[in-house]
A and B are shown apart, each in its own frame.
Chain A
Amino acid sequence: MTFLAPWYLFASLAVAAAIVALHFIVVRQPRAGILPTARFIPESQAKSVAASSRPTDIAVLLLRVLTILAAGAALAKPVLTPPRRPTARVVLADVSRSARDTAALSDSVRAFYRDGDALVVFDSAARLVDANPGDTLGALRPTTRRGNLGAALIVALRAGSGLRDRADSLELVIVSPFAREELDAATDSIRSLWPGRARLVPIGTATVDTGTMLGALEINATASDPLAVTMPMARHAVRGNVIILRRGTGASVTSASAGANGSARGAAIAVDWPASARPRFAVQRARSDTVGGVMVADRGVIAPFVRQWSYPPDSLRGGEVIGRWYDGEPAAIEKPEGSSCVRSVAIPVTPIGDLVVRSDWVRLVAELARPCAAVTSLVRADPSDIAKLAGSGRLASRDAFQPATNTRSPLAPWLFALAIAAAVAELFVRRGGKAERAESESIPASPFPRPASRVKTA
């Protein structure tokens, strides 16, 4: 048995020792006696403090010590430590939209997971599976959310702290397709916090990066549309798909036109970007305002934009925000639609000024014309990034992890209950002792009845 917070136990031992010491110091009233001339004694409090050779009120003392020690032990969180084994694993199971091969995912996780290991399931968020990991293993299904390996690694570190008392070494196992979108700028830094190598188990088949294939960008707009000015400049940046920008309310991209233009080069992506009408999924803002910038992926444009539309939370269900205003509000969203996707953009394009010809604006428009997430989520990360993720060297030692402080102690509630019961018992025992002492010290009233006619005054 170990204590997660042993200082509480040490403190309770000190308090218990002080209580025992106090029970050797008696504060009592002097011996009781009779004196007919007691009325001539001035009133005063008489208590003497003296050291006793044996503790007073042994029952009360025992109950008090029991109360303190039980409470201290409960706060110290005693846990029963299982026998330590050579190696324990922290298995990260990727259930994001990138991991579409469910069978491979389940088989890989089952192959590495053993009883006593830690299982972390992650997509955009990660969670440590505490209860019934077997059921979880049987029900692993990919979600529609983007994977985040950084979040999974943080939870893995926490799980490592929980496993440090069960094994000498900890092995990190990551079962994932290792899509490019699952890594971000912080992934390397977070990975470096795990002090040892990791075993990477790739699942699924890698998809060719369509970004290397030239696509087409078309616009359904009038000639005076300012965005039409941007098109020629942004077109060379479009890769892999046919992108159709819909600027008018009446004009729509027909499947025929999309198919005619895009059948050879990929699925057509319709970007609903009305010049003045309400974009798809958006609603009218209660009050128009001006915001100073917008970002799509890592492309930003600083300019005054008059916002008229907003995306309510319901509109984001099943979709993904691909552009945000500088204050965090969604400016553009994407939703899957069949094998393709549809995008809605609520960024107003003003003909005034040079916005439409600015390079940052051109890059932002090109970013809005990127392939659908369903395609990009399958693009595997660069081998160098995957190698960094694997790391090198030995397995992580248990000493490299901080002891977990949030571990539940199954004994703590019982110890608290014991402390409370002892405290209540002490209360009753103490009251009983007081009553006995008062009875022994008092003068029996019955032998000396006193008529009202004889009243002594001191």
Chain B
Amino acid sequence: MTVGPSDAQDEYAPLLDAVRGIRWPSRGVVRGGMPGAHTSRLRGISAEFTEYRPYRQGDDLRRVDWKLFARSDRAYIRLSNDRAILPTMIVLDASASMAFPEATKGKWKLAAQIGVALAAVARNSGDPVGFVVAGEEPLMIAPRMRLTVLHEIMRAVSVTRPNGGMALAPSVSIAAQNAARLVVISDLLGDEEDLLSVAGRWVAAGHEVLAVHVIAREEIDPPRESVTVTDPEVASIRRALTSETRAAYIEAFGSWRERIAHDFSDAGVGYVTAVVGDETAEHLVRRITAPRGVGVAVPQ
């Protein structure tokens, strides 16, 4: 089935309307670059005056406040805060484990909505936004500011079916080279250790990295009836979920989520848990984009 641009837009239109007014400030000052909405480390000559500084040899004479020089007979440089853009890349995990539950594909749908909504918010904030669908056939959209980039993202997400078991860390590394802000939307089942290592390196390099951990309610609270379950990405992992093993599973999965949240936070990576059905994508986007709102979300 071919999904056209209009179909994709219709699917995400209510969500885009809901996040229309949301802005997504940077967690800190950004590097210099093209003028944008985020406070830059550089101080330049924008109209937003900040302070004066005595002239030093080498300063640009055009930045000397001549009126003040006329009044005080001293040369001062007029300083102002610079604002720059924050290129944002969103990496969406499209492995087979995201197509869960089988009937509703809840994890994939929520992850896709979060990805599209964050892309819209970033673009509405004046930032170039790009997208990587890390599936069997990885698809990358370079960061751009034009309106059509959202259409491309929506169409790419709509035509993608979660499948296979591609590693996520290589996609994150490639995406991070083109962005200063990186959002990874995944269930983190697979190469989470490699992903954490890559994310930590880019954080150390001054990037802003955020991990949105998508979890299905059925993974947290599996059905009580006995069932033989299989990992969709590794068919050899086949276990019996019974009343005897259920408690051990819940404990092991909970411990793993706690460890993941702790490790990502320690690495400076923002970590948000998104449980399917607990929160809407809009609510999650508002939580993610709130000023200083991104932090360690303690797993339930």
Chain A residues proximal to chain B, CB less than 8 Å: 29-46, 48, 441-443, 445, 447-451, 453-456, 458
Cross-chain contact of B229 among A34, A44, A449, A455 (Cβ < 8 A): A34
- The answer on a CB contact under 8 Å between A41 and B239 is yes
Shortest CB distance A49–B (Å): 12
- The answer on a CB contact under 8 Å between B227 and A38 is no
Residues of B within 8 A of A48 (CB): 226
Shortest CB distance A436–B (Å): 17
Cross-chain contact of B252 among A40, A448, A455 (Cβ < 8 A): A40
Residues of B within 8 A of A35 (CB): 100, 218-219, 222, 229-231, 241
Residues of A within 8 A of B86 (CB): none
Instruction: Answer yes or no: B235 CB below 8 A from chain A CBs.
Output: yes
Instruction: Answer yes or no: B258 CB below 8 A from chain A CBs.
Output: no
Residues of A within 8 A of B164 (CB): 448-450
Known: A36-B219, A41-B240, A46-B228; 5 extra A-B contacts, CB below 8 A, are A31-B226, A37-B253, A38-B231, A46-B245, A443-B238
Instruction: Answer yes or no: B278 CB below 8 A from chain A CBs.
Output: no
Instruction: Answer yes or no: B165 CB below 8 A from chain A CBs.
Output: yes
Q: Select the residue from A36, A443, A454, A456 with max chain B CB neighbours within 10 A.
A: A36
- The answer on a CB contact under 8 Å between B244 and A44 is yes
- The answer on a CB contact under 8 Å between A41 and B233 is no
| A–B complex contacts, Cβ < 8 Å, 16 sampled | A29-B240, A30-B226, A32-B228, A34-B100, A34-B231, A35-B222, A37-B189, A38-B231, A41-B229, A44-B239, A44-B244, A45-B240, A46-B226, A448-B164, A454-B165, A456-B234
Chain B residues proximal to chain A, CB less than 8 Å: 96-97, 100, 102, 136, 163-167, 187, 189-191, 216, 218-219, 222, 225-235, 237-242, 244-245, 248-249, 252-253, 256
Cross-chain contact of B235 among A42, A46, A443 (Cβ < 8 A): A443
A37 — nearest CB in chain B belongs to which residue? B219
Complex: A149 Cα to B190 Cα, angstroms: 96
Residues of B within 8 A of A31 (CB): 225-228
Q: A37-B219, A42-B249, A443-B232 are in contact. Are A458 and B226 (CB under 8 A)?
A: no
Shortest CB distance A206–B (Å): 95
Residues of A within 8 A of B166 (CB): 451, 454
Q: A29-B240, A46-B242 are in contact. Are A36 and B97 (CB under 8 A)?
A: yes
Q: A30-B225, A41-B249, A443-B230 are in contact. Are A454 and B167 (CB under 8 A)?
A: yes
Complex: A46 Cα to B165 Cα, angstroms: 27
- The answer on a CB contact under 8 Å between A456 and B190 is yes
Complex: A458 Cα to B239 Cα, angstroms: 11
- The answer on a CB contact under 8 Å between A42 and B245 is yes
Shortest CB distance B235–A (Å): 5
Residues of A within 8 A of B248 (CB): 41-42
Shortest CB distance A301–B (Å): 90
A442 — nearest CB in chain B belongs to which residue? B235
- The answer on a CB contact under 8 Å between B189 and A456 is yes
Shortest CB distance B97–A (Å): 4
B100 — nearest CB in chain A belongs to which residue? A36
Complex: A445 Cα to B235 Cα, angstroms: 7
A441 — nearest CB in chain B belongs to which residue? B228
Residues of B within 8 A of A450 (CB): 164-165, 233-234
- The answer on a CB contact under 8 Å between A33 and B229 is yes
